Structure 1
Amino acid sequence: MQIIIKNKNGEFKAILDDTLVARSFAAQLPIVLNLQDYANAEKYAKLKMPLDISNSPRGSDGKKGELSYFAPWQNFVIYYKDQSYYDGIVRLGEITDEDIAKVAIDGEIKIELVR
């Protein structure tokens, strides 16, 4: 599934994986989130509703440009630097536009499905 992430820098394309957790996220779209920084590696915002992580791996690493869900805190995450393996990280997809610095910023974003 293709999505668009909109922020003050423009519109950016991303692809969600064909997984149960990614479909669970897509069901919440469109959504407006207020991103903030964590550990100088990621931007995150808490989702209002948890995602279905059944059949997901126990954890993952976060690679630059990936979209993930941190299940223990119910956070949507955009990685702008690599993150080593951590229990609770579940990959959602990846940003296809190359300038991650323009996508991964503090502040409001809107995420929509491309129909």
Structure 2
Amino acid sequence: MRIQLILDGHPVRATLNDSPAARDFAALLPLSLGLEDFHRTERVADLPRKLDTSGAPDAPTPQAGDLAHYAPWRNLALFYRDGERSPGLVILGRLDDSQDIDRLATAHRVTIEPLT
């Protein structure tokens, strides 16, 4: 599924994978969330609820441009740098254009909506 993130007014496109967690995330859209920096690696925001992570693979090593759900804290993580493997992390999708990754590092607010 294609989605659009509006980061501080700038549209950025991404594609969700076909996992149960990504489909559950898509069901929450549209969302508008405040973002905070976490470890100078990712921007994070609390989701309204924990996502369905059934059948999720072992925790991957996130890469810059990944959109993920950290299930233990019920949050969305937008990686602007490569991260470290963390149990409970589920990759939901990825930014379509790597040139947009820099926008994640400074974003304070994101609106996420499905693209038709």
Output the TM-score relative to the length of structure 1: 0.94
Which residue in the other structure is 1:107 paired with? Answer: 108
4+ runs of 1 displaced by more than 4 Å?
none
Does the alignment pair 1:38 with 2:38?
Answer: yes
Cα distance in structure 1, aligned partners of 2:41 and 2:66? 11
8 Å Cα contact 2:43-2:104 kept in structure 1: no
Which segments of 5 or more consecutive residues in structure 2 lack a partner in the other structure?
none
Unmatched 5+ stretches in structure 1: none
Q: Which of the pair is proportionally richer in strand?
A: 1
Deviation at 1:103, TM superposition (A): 3.3
Post-superposition shift, 1:9? 4.7
Root-mean-square deviation (CA, aligned residues, Å) is 1.1
Contact kept in structure 2, 1:60 and 1:88, CA below 8 Å: no
The structure with the largest helix share of the pair is 2
Aligned residue number for residue 62 of structure 1: 62
List per-residue Cα deviations over 1:19-46 (Å, max 9, x = no partner).
1100000000000010100001000001
